[in-house]
């Protein structure tokens, strides 16, 4: 085993399915030191007290009785960043190859030429690596101080992530990258020797769950049809990857094809024991993504679902709770849906009533090819359609509430989503949105947006963010009111919501799709872990003598 300056060890001989870590720039020490009786720093931990302020509301006879509440929490963050691996299902796809190639370009400072000039490697598009958060005002000048999000707490650097995973396609990553047609030729040319050393591990293929047009890719499969044997094989892959690379943590990430929705069947996937038994009996409604999720959970490693299918059936959520493992999902929120979650909120908050939202997409990559099948498209349609629900529910002045006892949503904008496969445009997705709204005194307003984006280049930084943030959350523990032992966060990592179209949340709690609220929640949580209050935009000092 050969050490490198990141603290990792990498086998001298390249392993199948593993992209080794190469030396990276020296890391600087933690940039923020909070001087407060509520925050303490030791070599091992950052410990911070935080007052969670809320309000309990009683509604009676049209009056709101408000009781402000304050609950003391204490957060403990382990400062030593885990030696982290990322195992992607769909490693040889557009996202997997793009992620591996861009990390290689950053590790080796590969500079390439495009028709527009020389391009430097970067992590633009990553919230954690290319975005900042306000932490206060400078004493000397009174100006706002913004720091990189990655400086708030110790986080894994993308260059230090060990990459590996599975795919139903056997192509080595240099050939898979060429097939994807995402990256500029000169970059592909330079990273190809590194990518050629890596081949995906065999994966599982259940034809009923993905489009029939994917069958020609399926030449790299774990043999047989016994789902229990498949589960054990995947678990062994995770253990071997972790051991061979001397890792503390492995994040398992689904970035493969969109599956059809699994049928929810009592006695099959409704409880932890039932889903485990369904795997033992190779039940037809156990999907590949659910099987990978169970494997990660049983190995004590986090699993993130980057696609829209219902991987996390109730039994898998219960299993994660029972095993104290971490899960997060669903579906990467990269372009059109992210914009929709902002614009719909803007309209509703401005007192404008959206009557209809019509979204059209066409794209030509393999994701679009798979989504051309009706059952797989339905999974995507569901994840895209719920994104405005919480904005509507927040303003019942504009939208009538559901009738008491009704299971419906109440009044809601017409919301239509269309996706078409157009091979000629490749990874360059076109999206057209029309927002048709009611304005003052029966007037109408129409906003049309045309958005063209390179799909995988928007999605790849989200995979990095989700991986890095997931690893961080495994190092944070909490307790209430300074009593008892510190314990891990809840298994469903709802703080990942900013990067996901259909956020998975704790059962019984409301889903938040508002991008502004999701970002504020993440910023506030990170700052709470170093003993800082959430963002204060009152700017009281500018409003008083």
By annotation, the residues acting in catalysis are 331, 380, 429, 501
3-state secondary structure 285-348: CCCHHHHHHHHHHHCCCCEEECCCCCCCCHHHHHHHHHHCCCEEECCECCCHHHHHHHHHHHHH
Residue 285 CA: distances (Å) to CA of 209, 227, 290, 328: 9, 11, 10, 21
Q: Is the dihedral of CA 200, 206, 212, 216 positive or negative?
A: positive
> What strand order describes the sheet that includes 476-480?
39-41, 45-60, 63-78, 476-480, 487-488
- Cis omega before residue 311 (within 30°)? no
Q: Are 359 and 431 in contact (CB under 8 A)?
A: yes
How many angstroms separate the CA atoms of 330 and 386, rounded?
A: 12
- The span from the CA of 333 to the CA of 462, in Å, is 8
Q: Which residues pair with 91 in a beta bridge?
A: none
* Distance of alpha carbon 532 from alpha carbon 135, whole angstroms: 8
Q: What b/e readout covers 4-40, taking b as 16+ CB neighbours within 10 angstroms?
A: eebebbbeeeebebbbbbbebeeeeeeeeeeeeeebe
Backbone angles phi, psi at 490, to 5 degrees: -65, 150
Q: Alpha-carbon distance 24 to 156, whole Å?
A: 12
Pairing relation of β-strands 249-254 and 9-10?
unpaired
């Amino acid at each position: 085993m050969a050490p490198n300056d990141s603290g990792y060890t990498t086998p001298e001989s390249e392993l199948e399915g593993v992209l080794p870590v190469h030396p990276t720039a020296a890391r600087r020490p933690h940039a923020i030191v909070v001087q407060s009786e509520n925050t303490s720093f030791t070599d091992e931990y950052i410990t911070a007290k935080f007052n969670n302020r809320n309000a309990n509301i009683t509604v009676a006879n049209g009056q709101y009785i408000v009781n402000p509440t304050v609950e003391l929490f204490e957060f403990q963050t382990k400062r030593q960043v885990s030696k982290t691996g990322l195992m992607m299902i769909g490693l040889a796809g557009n996202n997997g190859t793009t992620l591996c190639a861009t990390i290689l370009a950053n590790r080796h400072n590969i500079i390439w030429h495009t028709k527009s000039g020389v391009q430097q490697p970067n992590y633009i598009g990553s919230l954690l690596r290319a975005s900042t958060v306000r932490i206060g005002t400078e004493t000397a000048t009174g100006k706002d101080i913004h720091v990189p999000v990655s400086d708030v707490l110790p986080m894994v650097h993308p260059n230090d992530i060990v990459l590996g995973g599975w795919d139903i396609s056997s192509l080595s990553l240099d050939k898979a990258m060429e097939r994807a047609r995402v990256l500029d030729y000169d970059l592909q040319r330079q990273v190809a020797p590194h990518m050629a050393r890596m081949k995906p591990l065999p994966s599982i293929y259940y034809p009923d769950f993905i489009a029939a047009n994917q069958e020609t890719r399926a030449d790299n499969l774990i043999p047989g049809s016994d789902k229990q044997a498949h589960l054990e094989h995947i678990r062994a892959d995770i253990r071997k990857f972790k051991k061979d690379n001397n890792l503390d943590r492995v994040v398992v990430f689904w970035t493969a094809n969109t599956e059809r929705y699994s049928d929810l069947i009592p006695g099959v996937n409704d409880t932890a024991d039932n889903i485990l038994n369904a795997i033992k009996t190779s039940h037809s409604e156990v999907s590949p993504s659910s099987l990978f999720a169970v494997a990660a959970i049983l190995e004590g490693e986090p699993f993130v679902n980057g696609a829209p299918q219902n991987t996390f059936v109730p039994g898998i959520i219960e299993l994660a709770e029972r095993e104290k493992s971490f899960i997060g999902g669903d579906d990467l929120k990269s372009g059109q849906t992210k914009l929709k979650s902002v614009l719909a909120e803007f309209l509703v908050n401005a007192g404008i009533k959206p009557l209809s939202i019509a979204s059209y997409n066409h794209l030509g990559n393999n994701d679009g090819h798979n989504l051309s099948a009706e059952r797989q498209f339905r999974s995507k349609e569901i994840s895209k359609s719920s994104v405005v629900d919480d904005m509507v529910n927040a303003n019942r002045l504009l939208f009538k509430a559901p009738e008491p006892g009704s299971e419906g949503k109440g009044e809601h904008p017409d919301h239509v989503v269309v996706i078409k496969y157009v091979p000629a445009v490749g990874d360059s997705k076109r999206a057209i949105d029309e927002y048709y709204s009611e304005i003052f005194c029966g007037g109408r307003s129409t906003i049309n947006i045309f958005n063209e984006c390179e799909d995988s280049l928007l999605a790849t930084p989200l995979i990095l963010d989700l991986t890095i943030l997931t690893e961080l959350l495994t190092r944070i523990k909490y307790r209430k009111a300074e009593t008892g032992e510190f314990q891990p966060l809840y298994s469903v990592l709802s703080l990942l919501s900013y990067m996901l179209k259909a956020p998975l949340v704790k059962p019984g709690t409301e889903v938040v799709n508002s991008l502004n609220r999701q970002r504020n929640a993440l910023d506030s949580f990170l700052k709470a872990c170093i003993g800082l209050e959430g963002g204060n935009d009152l700017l009281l000092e500018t409003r008083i003598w």
